[in-house]
Protein backbone atom coordinates (compact mmCIF):
# COMPACT_ATOMS: atom_id res chain seq x y z
CA UNK A 1 0.00 0.00 0.00
CA UNK A 2 1.34 3.43 -0.99
CA UNK A 3 0.57 6.54 1.01
CA UNK A 4 1.12 10.03 -0.22
CA UNK A 5 2.25 12.58 2.29
CA UNK A 6 0.34 15.88 2.43
CA UNK A 7 3.40 17.72 1.07
CA UNK A 8 3.55 15.33 -1.88
CA UNK A 9 -0.09 16.02 -2.69
CA UNK A 10 0.53 19.76 -2.45
CA UNK A 11 3.45 19.52 -4.89
CA UNK A 12 1.34 17.52 -7.37
CA UNK A 13 -1.52 20.02 -7.01
CA UNK A 14 0.73 23.05 -7.53
CA UNK A 15 2.57 21.44 -10.46
CA UNK A 16 -0.76 20.86 -12.18
CA UNK A 17 -1.90 24.45 -11.60
CA UNK A 18 1.39 25.87 -12.82
CA UNK A 19 1.37 23.64 -15.90
CA UNK A 20 -2.16 24.82 -16.77
CA UNK A 21 -1.16 28.42 -16.13
CA UNK A 22 1.88 28.08 -18.38
CA UNK A 23 -0.26 26.45 -21.10
CA UNK A 24 -2.73 29.36 -20.91
CA UNK A 25 0.16 31.84 -21.13
CA UNK A 26 1.61 30.13 -24.19
CA UNK A 27 -1.81 30.04 -25.89
CA UNK A 28 -2.32 33.74 -25.19
CA UNK A 29 0.56 34.76 -27.42
CA UNK A 30 1.63 37.37 -24.88
CA UNK A 31 5.24 37.92 -23.88
CA UNK A 32 6.41 38.10 -20.27
CA UNK A 33 6.88 41.85 -20.72
CA UNK A 34 3.31 42.32 -21.98
CA UNK A 35 1.82 40.22 -19.19
CA UNK A 36 3.93 42.03 -16.58
CA UNK A 37 2.67 45.37 -17.86
CA UNK A 38 -0.98 44.23 -17.91
CA UNK A 39 -0.87 42.68 -14.43
CA UNK A 40 1.47 45.24 -12.87
CA UNK A 41 3.62 42.36 -11.61
CA UNK A 42 7.39 41.98 -11.90
CA UNK A 43 8.47 39.94 -14.90
CA UNK A 44 10.72 37.84 -12.65
CA UNK A 45 7.76 36.92 -10.43
CA UNK A 46 5.66 35.95 -13.45
CA UNK A 47 8.47 33.75 -14.71
CA UNK A 48 8.67 31.98 -11.32
CA UNK A 49 4.88 31.51 -11.13
CA UNK A 50 4.48 30.22 -14.66
CA UNK A 51 7.50 27.92 -14.66
CA UNK A 52 6.99 26.32 -11.27
CA UNK A 53 9.99 27.91 -9.58
CA UNK A 54 7.86 28.77 -6.55
CA UNK A 55 5.27 26.81 -4.59
CA UNK A 56 3.26 29.86 -3.56
CA UNK A 57 1.35 32.29 -5.74
CA UNK A 58 -0.56 35.00 -3.86
CA UNK A 59 -4.25 34.75 -4.75
CA UNK A 60 -4.51 38.37 -5.91
CA UNK A 61 -1.63 37.82 -8.31
CA UNK A 62 -3.10 34.50 -9.46
CA UNK A 63 -6.42 36.21 -10.20
CA UNK A 64 -4.70 39.06 -12.08
CA UNK A 65 -2.79 36.59 -14.24
CA UNK A 66 -5.90 34.52 -14.96
CA UNK A 67 -7.86 37.65 -15.86
CA UNK A 68 -5.26 38.85 -18.35
CA UNK A 69 -4.87 35.38 -19.87
CA UNK A 70 -8.67 35.09 -20.22
CA UNK A 71 -8.70 31.83 -18.32
CA UNK A 72 -11.05 30.77 -15.54
CA UNK A 73 -9.21 30.60 -12.21
CA UNK A 74 -11.72 28.02 -10.94
CA UNK A 75 -10.80 25.72 -13.82
CA UNK A 76 -7.07 26.06 -13.14
CA UNK A 77 -7.67 25.22 -9.50
CA UNK A 78 -9.62 22.11 -10.51
CA UNK A 79 -12.94 23.43 -9.21
CA UNK A 80 -14.64 23.56 -12.59
CA UNK A 81 -14.52 21.60 -15.82
CA UNK A 82 -12.87 22.97 -18.90
CA UNK A 83 -14.68 24.64 -21.76
CA UNK A 84 -16.37 22.54 -24.39
CA UNK A 85 -14.23 21.71 -27.42
CA UNK A 86 -16.00 24.23 -29.70
CA UNK A 87 -15.62 27.00 -27.11
CA UNK A 88 -11.90 26.33 -26.81
CA UNK A 89 -11.55 26.37 -30.58
CA UNK A 90 -13.24 29.76 -30.84
CA UNK A 91 -11.18 31.26 -28.02
CA UNK A 92 -7.89 29.89 -29.34
CA UNK A 93 -8.71 31.04 -32.87
CA UNK A 94 -9.56 34.52 -31.61
CA UNK A 95 -6.30 34.74 -29.65
CA UNK A 96 -4.25 33.70 -32.67
CA UNK A 97 -5.74 36.28 -35.04
CA UNK A 98 -4.31 39.71 -35.81
CA UNK A 99 -6.50 42.69 -34.84
CA UNK A 100 -8.47 42.85 -38.12
CA UNK A 101 -9.31 39.15 -37.79
CA UNK A 102 -10.40 39.61 -34.17
CA UNK A 103 -12.63 42.52 -35.19
CA UNK A 104 -14.20 40.41 -37.96
CA UNK A 105 -14.79 37.46 -35.62
CA UNK A 106 -16.42 39.73 -33.02
CA UNK A 107 -18.71 41.19 -35.71
CA UNK A 108 -19.72 37.70 -36.76
CA UNK A 109 -20.43 36.77 -33.14
CA UNK A 110 -22.67 39.83 -32.79
CA UNK A 111 -24.56 38.84 -35.95
CA UNK A 112 -25.01 35.29 -34.64
CA UNK A 113 -26.20 36.61 -31.28
CA UNK A 114 -28.78 38.85 -32.98
CA UNK A 115 -29.88 36.12 -35.37
CA UNK A 116 -29.96 33.18 -32.97
CA UNK A 117 -30.20 34.86 -29.55
CA UNK A 118 -33.02 34.88 -27.00
CA UNK A 119 -35.45 36.82 -29.20
CA UNK A 120 -35.31 34.26 -31.99
CA UNK A 121 -35.78 31.43 -29.45
CA UNK A 122 -38.89 33.17 -28.12
CA UNK A 123 -40.27 33.54 -31.65
CA UNK A 124 -39.47 29.96 -32.64
CA UNK A 125 -41.11 28.62 -29.47
CA UNK A 126 -44.44 30.33 -30.10
CA UNK A 127 -47.22 28.21 -31.51
CA UNK A 128 -48.71 29.62 -34.67
CA UNK A 129 -52.21 28.29 -35.32
**What pLDDT tens digit does each residue of the chain (129 aa) get?**
444 444 554 455 567 788 888 888 998 889 999 999 999 999 999 999 888 888 788 889 989 999 999 888 887 777 765 567 778 788 888 888 999 999 999 999 999 889 988 654 444 444 433
Helices (H) and strands (E) counted in the chain, each on its own, are: 8, 0
Contacts for 13 with CB less than 8 Å, ≥ 6 apart: 78
Domains of the chain, each with CATH number or no CATH: 6-81 (1.10.260.40)
- What is the phi/psi pair of residue 7, to 5°? -65, -35
Q: For residue 68, count other CB atoms closer than 10 A to its CB.
A: 20
Amino acid sequence: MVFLHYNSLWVIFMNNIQKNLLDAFELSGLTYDELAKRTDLPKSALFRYLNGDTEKIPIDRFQAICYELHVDAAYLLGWKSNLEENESFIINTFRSLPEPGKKYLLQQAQIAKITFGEKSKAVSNTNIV
